[in-house]
């Protein structure tokens, strides 16, 4: 699934609020092989800036990173944050591909809170619907202003954008195995978190929560009356451990983490109300915050569900001597790996 969808040799890129990451893979046997990867920090939330020189600045950073990482192609697949798109699962009659295009466009107006001529539509068939004459379709709409912004950035960087896809789709491709049935995915970014319910490898519900790792640092900083650097160090070292610092860090983190937990519970309850037979087997946790001490255990206890830390390199082959280095970034690169694996898995 992708907004532009061309097939070529390409690399994957994930532009976040605080960093940009890229990965290139090549098809080889059962698992694609890692060709190159790299990352670099960004000025805070540069991708969201409307400043006149922001696109030029970001394009220069990307161009330099592509060179430094040893990427061998100018074609790129990029991920759009779930917060930037509209997603909905709709039911359509079982029809031909040409007829489905018309059916989706006809229904889209009911689900997309923008004029249809102001968005790019994309869709993928998920499987059978509630009766034999219906099918479920994941509908994605990305605002034209967003897709045009990405196109402009990559053009300035001397790259060709061949596909845009939702970060959740890329995540599930990277960190789930083919036998994963019903899984909750949680990706905690710097400024927002994404909750997605994935069934048989395809997202069925996508929910963006405007709370991320930056809110953890802010809560600890305000609660303990320390600056942001000290607060970040506290979060990274002590996290949700009750025994550390007499539980003072946990005390200030818990209300913020609970915001995300409640949104996960609401999402699961909503989905199960529509699909009573659904049984989510585990939660897969990605993003840098997944490594916070005590957080995975807290999530597991809060949701009463097994928690597994996502591994971006799970479905990728790489030399044994790279294992230690890749292990240190095995959650942060998941979206970029998923984009890079779009046509090689």
- 285-321 pLDDT, tens per residue? 999 899 999 999 999 999 999 999 999 999 999 999 9
The residue-averaged pLDDT of 32-52 equals: 91
Select the more confidently predicted residue: 7 or 239. 239
Nearest one of 156, 178, 255 to 211, comparing CA atoms? 255
> pLDDT value at position 131?
83
The residue-averaged pLDDT of 253-274 equals: 96
Q: Evaluate if residue 128 carries a pLDDT over 70.
A: yes
> pLDDT value at position 7?
52
pTM for this predicted structure? 0.88
Q: Evaluate if residue 8 carries a pLDDT over 70.
A: no
Select the more confidently predicted residue: 74 or 129. 74
**CA atoms of 196 and 208, how far apart (whole Å):** 9
Percentage of residues in the chain having pLDDT higher than 90: 68
Taking all residues of the chain, what is their mean pLDDT, rounded to a whole number?
92
The 10 Å CB-count burial string (b at 16+, else e) for 197-234 is bbbebbbbbbbbbebbbbbbbebbbebeeeeeeebbeb
**DSSP letter assigned to residue 32:** P
In degrees and rounded to multiples of 5, residue 126 shows phi and psi of: -90, -30
> pLDDT value at position 37?
97
**CA atoms of 211 and 216, how far apart (whole Å):** 9
DSSP string covering 212-259, please? -HHHHHHHHHHHHT--HHHHHHHHHHTTT-TTGGGGHHHHHHHHHHHH
Can you say whether the dihedral through the CA atoms of 236, 239, 244, 245 is positive or negative? positive
The residue-averaged pLDDT of 214-222 equals: 97
> pLDDT value at position 40?
97
**CA atoms of 174 and 12, how far apart (whole Å):** 12
**Which helix H or strand E contains 268, and what residues bound it?**
helix 248-274
DSSP string covering 81-135, please? -GGGSEEEEEEEE---HHHHHHHHHHHHHHH-SS-GGGEEEEEEEEEE-SSTTEE
**CA atoms of 18 and 339, how far apart (whole Å):** 19
The residue-averaged pLDDT of 54-66 equals: 96
Select the more confidently predicted residue: 128 or 146. 146
> pLDDT value at position 331?
86
The residue-averaged pLDDT of 254-265 equals: 98
Q: Give the pLDDT band (50/70/90) at residue 280.
A: very high
**CA atoms of 93 and 153, how far apart (whole Å):** 39
> pLDDT value at position 1?
42
Q: Are 25 and 341 in contact (CB under 8 A)?
A: yes
Task: Tell me, rounded to whole angstroms, the distance of Cα 207 from its chain centroid.
Answer: 11
In the chain, ranges of CATH 3.30.420.40 domains: 1-84+143-177+314-345, 179-309
The residue-averaged pLDDT of 23-39 equals: 93
pLDDT per residue over 92-112, tens digit each?
888 888 888 888 888 888 888
- Residue 91 CB: number of other CB atoms within 10 A? 12
- Please, which residues have CB within 8 angstroms of residue 222's CB and are 6 or more apart in sequence? 252
> pLDDT value at position 6?
52
Q: Evaluate if residue 5 carries a pLDDT over 70.
A: no
Q: Evaluate if residue 50 carries a pLDDT over 60.
A: yes
The 10 Å CB-count burial string (b at 16+, else e) for 19-48 is ebbbbbbeeeeebbebbbbbbeebeeebbe
Nearest one of 319, 345, 311 to 32, comparing CA atoms? 345
Fold classification of 1-84+143-177+314-345 is Nucleotidyltransferase; domain 5 (3.30.420)
Whose structure tokens read 């809060």?
A: 302
CATH number of the 179-309 domain? 3.30.420.40
Q: Give the pLDDT band (50/70/90) at residue 52.
A: confident
Rg (CA), the chain: 20
Q: Evaluate if residue 87 carries a pLDDT over 70.
A: yes
């Amino acid at each position: 699934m992708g907004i532009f969808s061309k097939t070529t040799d390409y690399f994957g890129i994930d532009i976040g609020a605080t960093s940009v990451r890229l990965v290139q893979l090549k098809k080889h046997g059962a698992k694609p092989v890692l060709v190159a990867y790299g990352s670099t920090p960004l000025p805070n939330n540069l991708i969201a800036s409307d400043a006149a020189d922001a696109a030029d600045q970001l394009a220069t950073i990307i161009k330099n990173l592509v060179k430094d990482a040893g990427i061998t192609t100018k074609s790129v697949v990029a991920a759009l944050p779930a917060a930037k798109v509209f997603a909905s699962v709709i039911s359509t009659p079982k029809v031909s591909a040409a007829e489905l295009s018309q059916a989706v466009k006809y229904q889209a107006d009911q689900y997309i809170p923008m004029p249809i001529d102001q968005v790019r539509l994309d869709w993928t068939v998920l499987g059978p619907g509630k009766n034999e004459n219906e099918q479920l379709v994941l509908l994605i709409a990305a605002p034209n202003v967003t897709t045009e912004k990405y196109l402009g950035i990559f053009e300035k960087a001397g790259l060709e954008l061949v596909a845009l896809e939702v970060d959740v789709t890329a995540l599930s491709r990277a960190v789930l195995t083919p036998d994963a049935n019903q899984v909750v995915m949680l990706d905690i970014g710097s400024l927002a978190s994404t909750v997605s319910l994935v069934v048989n490898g395809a997202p069925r519900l996508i929910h963006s929560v405007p709370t991320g790792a930056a809110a953890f640092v802010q809560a600890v900083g305000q609660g303990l009356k320390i600056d942001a650097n000290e607060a970040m160090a506290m979060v990274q070292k002590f996290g949700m451990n009750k025994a550390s610092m007499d539980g003072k860090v946990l005390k200030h983190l818990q209300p913020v983490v609970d915001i995300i937990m409640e949104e996960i519970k609401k999402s699961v309850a909503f989905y199960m109300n529509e699909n009573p037979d659904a049984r989510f087997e585990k939660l897969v946790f990605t993003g840098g915050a997944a490594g916070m001490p005590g957080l995975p255990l807290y999530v597991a206890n809060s949701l009463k569900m097994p928690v597994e830390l996502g591994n971006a390199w799970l479905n990728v082959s790489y030399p044994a001597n790279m294992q230690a280095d890749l292990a240190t970034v095995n959650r942060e690169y998941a979206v970029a790996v998923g984009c890079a694996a779009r046509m090689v898995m």
